[in-house]
Amino acid sequence: MKAGYSLLLILLFLIPDSKAQDVKVIDPPFWWANMPVTELQIQLYGENIGSYRASVNYDGVEIKRQIAVDSPNYLFIYLDISEKAEVGKLDIILKNGDKSITVPYELLEREPAEGRYQGFDSRDVIYLMMPDRFANGNPDNDTIEGMLESADRSNPQRRQGGDIQGVVENLDYIKDLGVSAVWFTPLFENDMTTKYGAYHGYAATDLYKVDRRFGSNEEYKAMIETVHENGMKVIMDMIHNHIGDQHWWMKDLPTKDWVHDFEKLGQTNFRGSVASDPYASEFDSRKLVDGWFVPEMPDLNQDNELLTDYLIQNTLWWIEYTGVDGIRMDTYVYPDKDYMARWSKEVLEAYPTFNIVGEAWVNTVAGEAYWQEDKDGVDDGYDSELPSLTDFQFAFAVRKAFNEDFGWTEGLSQLYYVLSQDFLYSDPMKNVTFLDNHDMSRFFEHIGKREAEFKMALAWLMTTRGTPQIYYGTELLMGHENRGGDDEVWRQTMPGGFPNDSRSVFTREGRTQKENEIHEYTKKLIHWRNSSPAIHEGKLVHFIPQDNVYVYFRVHKDQTVMVVMNNSEENKTMERLRFAEILDQFKTGQNVMNNKTIDLSDNFSVDAKKTVILELR
């Protein structure tokens, strides 16, 4: 007894105020000098830490406020970090009576801005991928001791083992395709039980950590640097609407109102329209915003400023730490919309070259357009501050266009009508356009695996207005057996990305003839698009679809492009006179896919089930 007591005394004497013992979490783990914002909120978590008071002695750094909350185990400290504060180590001294804890903290030097946080726009082509499903470069991280779920290749609803290393090893494949930006579904730690599976990343259990089954924070940062070195950009997926129910906060919530009450509110009504509806009831509005997305994803309460400061700062931290170029914000219409506007505004003020696309999954063009910044006359002057939208109306239109018979409003007319409402957007060119994504059946499957139509839709995506996004596997004509199904059905692994795969689609030899054909088509289209000012910035002029043929032009001072989409079963003759307002200035058109020149001085013919893209001369 006595010996043990003495040993304890000696230990206490040796480490009188160690951070490791008393403070379990410091968020953010570090910061930088000379950041675009001067305020820094530090969240400390540790037993009874709320009963301590903090002080700092560092030139240019001052404590503005410190806040204890409902749980005694948190302390929120707000620092003002002025321009005078230099790079270096500072100690935060916590005192409670005669007890003292020293929390070491660091202000790092910012990296030069060049080549970082570049944003993205209509000159880019975005490749959307799920890191768990792309390639497993490090089978050693498939199982991590202490984490709740391991990879299980026998069950598509579970993790498959893909990771950051797998992306790095196959970056040449992505680059070769010509895409200029990669959107990764979230890499945040999702340490959730196997019951739900959280390979998708949308149930974060720590907003400052990359999931160790994907790699480390350092690997993520290094990967982004490698992507940059290869002339591409990275779009990070984020979620501020919810977290995973096994987030460490949930065991000991900072405040009683940190998340909304599931018992009271249940699930959201999933009706994004409510947020923009001038007649919405209180009941529906509350349900949309405060209801939970799913029972295992607690809904964050963005009325709590400690939380919103934490979230905004978390975004700035990831941008500064990694140099990432853009964010795709998940479930944009579900959180408090004034918070989302504040978040977007503050992020873009801090990083003006950055860009954000919000997932606004609603059902009408007007409802979609509501969420774009700089809209006049809506909702008592509400401005979302959001530059770009995931253009679901575009996706819905093209998905109908090739599944319906042609008519006044049906079939190809869908494409015409969806774009004819572009006056509703403040800048439709900023919309991210797509045929499918990780939450929808694959386009190829959706149109009944018809290759000619698939190519036509892809050509439309790459030549009409907007910033196109393709979903991994599109370049391989990926479909799936079950059109309904659940998410995992359209989230297949890339053959060749995983140990013991029987073939590799990452090489020409490993792909089937059909896969190679569509791969070449996609690649050629994207590479051509990359060099086309008319597609990047040109004015769109389209003609009402007639007889199942849709014709449009992209007009730019340095280039004019004509696109003829013939969705009928017959070859069609184009009446030159109808397009004279543009064709009068040109004599010939060069087909960008086969370099053949056609004479435009007279009527000309376009083959059945083909899209022809012509550079006019």
Q: Site residues for Ca ion, window 137-176 (CB under 5 A)? A: 138, 141-142, 161, 163
**What's the helix, strand, coil split of the chain in %, to 5?**
30, 25, 45
Least Å distance, CB 529 to Ca ion, is: 33
> Shortest Cβ distance from residue 158 to Ca ion (Å)?
13
Residue closer to Ca ion, measured from CB, 197 or 323: 197
240 Ramachandran zone, left/alpha/beta (phi>0; psi -120 to 50) = alpha
| Gap between the Cα atoms of 50 and 340, Å rounded | 29
The yes-or-no answer on residue 359 being catalytic is yes
Instruction: State which of positions 241-270 bind Ca ion (CB under 5 A).
Output: none
Nearer to Ca ion, 150 or 568 (CB): 150
Count residues near Ca ion (CB under 5 A): 6
Residue 322's closest CA among 227, 206, 211? 227
Closest CB to Ca ion among residues 134, 392: 134
Helix, strand, or coil (residue 406): coil
Nearer to Ca ion, 139 or 266 (CB): 139
Residue pair 439/432 in contact by the 8 Å Cβ criterion: no
> 151 or 357: whose CB is closer to Ca ion?
151
Catalytic choice (22, 142, 330, 368): 330
Residues 287 and 280: their CA atoms lie apart, in Å, by 11
Residues 228, 234, 240, CA angle at the centre, nearest 5°? 150
| Shortest reach from residue 142's CB to Ca ion, in Å | 5
Residues in the chain, overall count: 617
Of 19-27, 133-141, 302-310, 529-537, which part binds Ca ion (CB under 5 A)? 133-141
CB of residue 162 to Ca ion, shortest distance in Å = 6
* CA of residue 496 relative to chain centroid, distance: 25
Are 126 and 469 within 8 A, CB to CB?
A: yes
Give start and end residues of each alpha helix (H) in 409-512. 413-420, 443-446, 451-463
The DSSP code sequence of 308-344 is HHHHHHHHHHHHHHH---EEEETTTTSS-HHHHHHHH
Helix axes 513-530, 451-463, angle to 10 degrees: 20
Q: For Ca ion, which is the closer residue by CB, 153 or 342? A: 153
- Grouping H, G, I as helix, E, B as strand and the rest as coil, residue 307 is helix
Q: Give the N- to C-terminal CA distance of the chain in Å, as an integer.
A: 95
Write down the least CB distance from residue 224 to Ca ion, Å. Answer: 19
Stretch that binds Ca ion, among 136-144, 437-445, 451-459, 536-544 (CB under 5 A): 136-144
Structure tokens at 183: 């959107």
Q: Does the footprint of Ca ion cover residue 186 (CB under 5 A)?
A: no
- Give me the DSSP letters along 145-210: TT-S----TT-TTS-----HHHHHHTHHHHHHHT--EEEEPP-EE----TTT--TTS-S-SEEEEE
Q: Does 136 bind Ca ion (CB under 5 A)?
A: yes
Closest separation in Å from C-beta 166 to Ca ion: 7
Radius of gyration (C-alpha) of the chain in whole angstroms: 27
> Are 494 and 503 contacting, i.e. CB atoms less than 8 angstroms apart?
no
Q: From the CB of 124, what's the least distance to Ca ion, in Å?
A: 28
Q: Smallest distance from the beta carbon of 186 to Ca ion, in angstroms?
A: 16
User: At closest approach, how far in Å is the CB of 27 from Ca ion?
Assistant: 27
Part of the chain binding Ca ion (CB under 5 A), chosen from 131-139, 269-277, 522-530, 569-577:
131-139
Least distance from Ca ion to the Cβ atom of residue 151, Å: 7
Q: Which is nearer to Ca ion, 43 or 185 (CB)?
A: 185
Question: What secondary structure does DSSP assign to 525-554, as a single string?
Answer: HHHHHHT-HHHHHPEEEEEEEETTEEEEEE
Residue 252 main-chain phi, psi, to 5 deg: -160, 80
Tell me the CA distances in angstroms from 119 to 165, 182, 356, one per residue in order.
24, 12, 8
Site string for Ca ion, 60-99 (x = CB under 5 A): ----------------------------------------
**Which residue, 163 or 373, is less far from Ca ion as judged by CB?**
163
Residue among 28 and 161 whose Cβ is closer to Ca ion: 161
Q: What is the rounded distance in angstroms from the CA atom of residue 526 to the CA atom of residue 517?
A: 14
Q: Compute the Cα dihedral for 522, 525, 527, 529 and give only its sign.
A: negative
Strands 61-68 and 74-81: antiparallel
Collapsing DSSP to helix, strand or coil, 373 comes out as: coil
**Cβ neighbours, 10 Å, residue 105:** 23
Least distance CB 145 / Ca ion (angstroms): 14
Shortest separation between residue 160's beta carbon and Ca ion, angstroms: 9
Nearer to Ca ion, 504 or 560 (CB): 504
List 367's β-bridge partners, or say none. Answer: none
Q: Are strands 233-238 and 181-184 parallel, antiparallel or unpaired?
A: parallel
Closest to Ca ion by CB, 161 or 335: 161
Among residues 132 and 237, whose Cβ is nearest to Ca ion?
A: 132
Say which of 206, 346, 359, 368 is annotated catalytic.
Answer: 359
Binding residues for Ca ion, rule: CB under 5 A, are: 136, 138, 141-142, 161, 163
Which residue numbers are catalytic? Answer: 330, 359
